[in-house]
Amino acid sequence: MEATAQEVDAAVLAAHAARGALADRTVRAAFLRSAADGLDAARDGLVETADAETALGPVRLTGELARTSYQLRAFAGIVDEGAFLDVVINHPDDTATPPVPDLRRYKVPLGVVAVYSASNFPFAFSVAGGDTASALAAGCPVVVKAHPDHPALSELVAKVLRRAAAHHGIPEGVVGLVHGFTAGIELIMHPQVAAAGFTGSVRGGRALFDAAAARPVPIPFHGELGSLNPVLVTEAAVAERAEAIGAGLAGSMTLGVGQFCVKPGLVLVPSGAAGDRLVKSLTDAVSDTAAGVLLDHRMRDNFVAGVEERARLADVDSPVTPGAGGEHTVSAGFLTVPAARLTEEGAYDLLLEECFGPVSVVARYADEAEASAVLSRLPGNLTATVQVSAEEAAGQGRGPELLASLTPLAGRVVVNAWPTGVAVAPAQHHGGPYPATTSTSTSVGGTAIERWLRPVAYQNAPTALLPAELKDENPLGLPRRFNGVLER
């Protein structure tokens, strides 16, 4: 199924030719809703195929498919509203210094978007996932590079999207699909590709990011690469509810066999008796977790080798040993280490790197300074979590300080909850400082559409020549800022 260079070229050119068919926002929104309806109608067959290729289970996959349909409908609503166009109109003002001419600004689609599917979310971060939905909502055709872990599902989903496009008179080439490693390189280098979205490993994402920057005409590359997702448990919190925190952590780190990009991979827990209670609770809960199947044998081999390498380090203990659970499965577990080992550069840096699968590192800290020293060594993350006491949550003690200290580390700061579970909501941000992502944007939530748009301003353009979005009378009824006043 490897796509040739000629097939990649044909897919990109077909997508490029379909740009005009997405210009009408009413048609675009209807297309997104029809795509969602089509996915829902094909649910049973899609879930069966997805489970056969990923072993993620019908319950998990059915929920993920529903999330994907919801996301398409949510972007349809954003297209209908039109606020994403960010319309700003300034009439001339000769009294200003310097004088202001007639200026009218809005955002236009970039062009064809290359989408690189993720392995761990065969619906939500794949052919019809967030990158595709937001790009189509912006008015950008897409060419998707299918993930090799679910090629048959990718073909089925692409057919659903193309049928929905054809139903509204949009060329089916508006959604292209290619397979293969080489095709992924050809895609990022194609001169008609205007931007790219990626979810995957640091190594693969960085290679594509560098390729996008090295093109004769560099393009935006929005990559989600990797994240440790640290958790800090305060002394007051562990004294208040150690057992509940341990059980919650177990559920979060083993959810989906630890294959979520926001799995908590490093947990800072106080030394002492209260911290021991948390570790015991975590031990009990993780011990009761059944072995599970990772998405492919390469990931399984990397997981087993990764936990073995970490466990061999001095002062690293394994209350519940993670690793090979059977011929095709892995067992969940966690490692403990004195936090002091993580405060200096050296062999223990390995414990500060993501290990994909059901494992977390619990670092026991002696005091606040030691915990802060560990956090100061971390790279960027998608999430950072703090578990605080009721008193700290009320703003007493170090509560406000803790929130401020975690903000530079991540794109989403979680308090007294767990990072797994990324809601599709207007206020959501799923991104973070590098290497969590290569840009400051989000791949989940309404503002994900901004990645595929660029602003353009018209100066002194006659009314007859202006796009309808920028005319004074506002024939499209768009939200806008008109001479400094926000109009809804």
From the candidates 64, 224, 354, 469, give the one annotated as an active-site residue: 224
Structure tokens at 335: 């490692």
Nearest one of 215, 290, 276, 253 to 385, comparing CA atoms? 253
Q: Does residue 224 carry a catalytic annotation?
A: yes
Residues 6+ apart with CB under 8 A from 6: none
- Rounded-to-integer distance, Cα 70 and Cα 35, Å: 11
Beta sheet of 381-387, edge-to-edge order: 317-320, 333-338, 359-365, 266-270, 230-233, 381-387, 410-415
First CA to last CA across the chain, in angstroms? 49
- Which residues, listed in sequence order, are joined to residue 360 by a DSSP beta bridge? 334
- Rounded-to-integer distance, Cα 13 and Cα 35, Å: 22
As to burial, measured by CB atoms within 10 angstroms (0-12 exposed, 13-18 middle, 19+ buried), residue 26 is exposed
From the candidates 261, 354, 392, 469, give the one annotated as an active-site residue: 261
- Rounded-to-integer distance, Cα 418 and Cα 244, Å: 12
Question: Which helix (H) or strand (E) segment is 88 a member of?
Answer: strand 87-90
Q: Please list the active-site residues.
A: 224, 261
